[in-house]
Amino acid sequence: MNRRNFIKATVVAAAASTVFKPFYIRAQSKKYRFGFSQVTTVEPWRVQFNKDMIKEAGKHPELELIITDGQDKTEKQVADVENLIQQGVDILLVSPKESAGLTGVVLKAIDAKIPVIILDRNVETDKYTQFIGGDNVLIGREAGKYAVELLGGAGSAKGNLVELWGGMGTQPAHDRHDGFMESVGKETGIKSLLQPMDCDWKQQKAYEVMSTALKSFDHIDLVYGHNDPEAYGAYLAAKDAGREKEMKILGIDALPDEGVTWVSKGQLTATFLYATPGAEGVRQGLKIVNGETVEKKITLPTLRIDKTNAEQILKENGLA
């Protein structure tokens, strides 16, 4: 066989295998197919979301899970959902990029008689089967209660507080603030040192704000970051000033490779879980295909993660 024929044969074989590969992959069919339309796969919380979902789906061998990536574009996500409708999935799970943008296609799925579970962000209709999401006010409230406890207990709490805001134009930041202030605001002994400072959820901005605060105030007892990267930024600033021992630092989100890791290293005092609805979505979907009735709305509980349980959570996620 001369070289030219060999090249030709290789090219033909490669082309043929690309085209015909689908046929034999298709052979293994499972009982249920769930389609999940994710917004993007480059954000840490979204990555964890997908991980949770795949992990839960792995526990149920009768289940086939299809995850699509909207690449952070409304058009792409709408096309993805349309595609899942055409494929005739048994359950459609959608975590919308925007409420308005995804409403139309969700209605289309409902028209096609596919049960729809909306995750994390709602759409402008109530004809879907179920909504699952976290509650930022609830999480803020838990953080607030713990803060009061750390500073001396209800009625006698005392200390200087630095609050680092998430993006001020976003609802979660306001919810996390309002929930926190429900208990902290009642304590006259707790003094909030700063005007609301927008740190835009970013570690770097929190670092800058915190360094300034450290220069202006001699003693800081508690830092409350609206998410873990902000809390970690505050820790780094305090450490650079040599003052990280004097304060307690609280964060929110508790992603295993961010907040939980920092807590286990003793850098943050505690973090509060903003759970991804991934695992719960799969569980609820299975209930629906098995004919059980489900609640219209599920609010995910939060969990305080401190030195006592951080190691265990890291182990569960294969990080320790």
Partner 1 sequence: MKRVLTSTRNFLLQTKLFWGLAVLYLVGVFSSPINRKGINIFLSPGNQSDVLRQVSNNGIIAVGMTLVILTGGIDLSVGSMMALGSVVCAMLLTQQGWTNASFLAIPVLALVTFFLSAYLVPLIAINAVRGSARPMEKANPSVRWCGIIFGAILAILSVWWTVGQLGTKFGVLGVLVAVPAVGLVFGALNGLFITKGKMQPFIVTLAMMVAILGIARLLGGSNMAVHPVYTGTNATENFDILRALVFQIIPVPGIFFIFAVLVFGFVLKVSTFGRYIYAIGGNEQAARLAGIRVDQLKIAVYAISGMLACTAGVLYTAQYRQGKPDAGAGAELDAIAAVVIGGTNLMGGRGSMIGTLVGVLIFGFLGNILQLRNIDSNTQLVLKGGIILAAVLLQEGQLGVRWKQIRSYFKVIDSGQEAGAKSRQVEEASK
Residue 196 touching partner 1 (CB under 8 A): no
Buried b (16+ CB within 10 A) or exposed e, 73-104: ebebbbebbeebbeeebbbbbbbbbeeeebee
Binding flags for partner 1, 135-174, as an x/- string (CB under 8 A):
----------------------------------x-----
Do the beta carbons of residue 262 and residue 271 sit within 8 Å? Answer: yes
Q: Out of 5, 28, 86, 188, point to the residue binding partner 1 (CB under 8 A).
A: 86
Q: Out of 47, 51, 74, 181, point to the residue binding partner 1 (CB under 8 A).
A: 74
Do the beta carbons of residue 139 and residue 114 sit within 8 Å? Answer: no
Residue 88 touching partner 1 (CB under 8 A): yes
Q: Out of 100, 182, 189, 239, point to the residue binding partner 1 (CB under 8 A).
A: 100
Residue 26 touching partner 1 (CB under 8 A): yes
With H, G, I as helix, E, B as strand and everything else as coil, classify residue 191. strand
**Angle of helix 44-58 relative to helix 278-289, nearest 10 degrees?**
40
Nearer CB in complex with partner 1: 22/242: 22
d(CA 241, CA 106): 51
Cα 218 to its chain centre, rounded Å, is: 35
Spell out the residues 6+ positions from residue 308 whose beta carbon is closer than 8 angstroms to its own. none
Residue 122 touching partner 1 (CB under 8 A): no
Residue 296 touching partner 1 (CB under 8 A): no
Residue 28 touching partner 1 (CB under 8 A): no
Q: Out of 1, 5, 19, 242, point to the residue binding partner 1 (CB under 8 A).
A: 19
Q: Which residues bind partner 1 (CB under 8 A)?
A: 3-4, 19-20, 22-23, 26, 41, 66, 68-69, 71, 73-75, 78-80, 82-83, 85-88, 98-101, 103-104, 124, 169
